[in-house]
Amino acid sequence: MGSVLVETIGDGFGPTDPWLEIDPRLRTAWTSALSADPPGAPTRLGSREVGVLVTEHRTSWVRRCRVGGLDLFAKTYVYPDRRDRLRGVLRTTFLAPGRAVCESRALRWLLEHGIDAPRPLGVAEHRRGGWLRASLLVTEAWPGVALDAFLAPLGPDDRRRVLAAVWGFVATLHGLGFVDRNLDPRSLLVSGDGSGAFRVTKIDSPRARVLRPGRRYDRLVAADRERLTSGLAKLPGRS
């Protein structure tokens, strides 16, 4: 696994860079789209300028973009300052897999265990001397929005139905031994088909663990539920 050398942290990653993993569908669609006239894809994924902004913070952002016929989300993490990198020692930035790698692993685990989730299509990292400087996770788009946004326009009855589906989904995860440790309304996606049924999935799970029943499992399951309950209580029009 080589490191991707980019001159400026956050410039993104191209299709010929040595990705840690890249789905053949993404590579094929990307190279084919770039050879078209005019090109049907950006030359690099993961920069702040490519695609439509979904969310943005000081050291991370998500952009939605198209590569050929693929509808994608590109999630970038950057660690430009020594303080940012030191904070992640043994967790994300040094002597440990980065957040993009961990999130991709969690999504793959969910898919392998029958959970409907966004499919990861690529992971890339830029490291220097073993220190993580930037990383990128590319996933297929999933037809839903964050739980907090989904709930916002709903009346009390619909909110209760959605929350019943959410708690049922959480129970399914815990029943499989999957404890998320990052269970927030903004990291749960929900979609509805208009018939009163709702689909729920989980993203942004860099700290997830799969555990057997026991004291640690019980403690982390309780912490998951408490975190989500607390997050829901902070939303406007809580149910």
Domains contained in the chain, CATH given: 21-140 (3.30.200.20), 145-233 (1.10.510.10)
Q: Which residue has the higher pLDDT, 194 or 122?
A: 122
Dihedrals φ, ψ of 43, to 5°?
A: -75, -25
Is residue 37 pLDDT above 50, yes or no? yes
| For residue 26, pLDDT beyond 50 | yes
Specify the pLDDT at position 1.
Answer: 37
Q: What is the maximal distance between C-alpha atoms in the chain?
A: 60
Give the ranges where 35-155 is alpha helix by DSSP (H). Answer: 82-87, 99-112, 147-151
pLDDT reported for residue 90: 56
Closest Cα partner for 64 from 76, 52, 55? Answer: 52
- Which pLDDT does position 5 carry in this prediction? 37
pLDDT of residue 228: 98
Between CA 196 and CA 165, with CA 103 as vertex, the angle to 5 degrees is: 15
Express each pLDDT in 181-223 by its tens digit: 999 999 999 999 777 889 999 999 999 999 999 999 999 999 9
pLDDT at 175 over 50: yes
pLDDT score recorded for residue 9: 57
Instruction: Kindly report, residue by residue over 41-87, the tens digit of the pLDDT.
Output: 899 999 999 999 999 998 899 999 999 999 999 999 998 887 877 77
User: Residue 38: is the preceding peptide bond cis (ω within 30°)?
Assistant: yes
Q: Mean pLDDT in the chain? A: 90
Predicted TM-score (pTM) of the model is 0.90
Structure tokens at 58: 């000081």
Q: Which residues of 99-112 are buried (b: 16+ CB within 10 A; e: fewer)?
A: bbbbbbbbbebbee
- Separation between Cα atoms, residue 233 and residue 227, nearest integer Å: 10
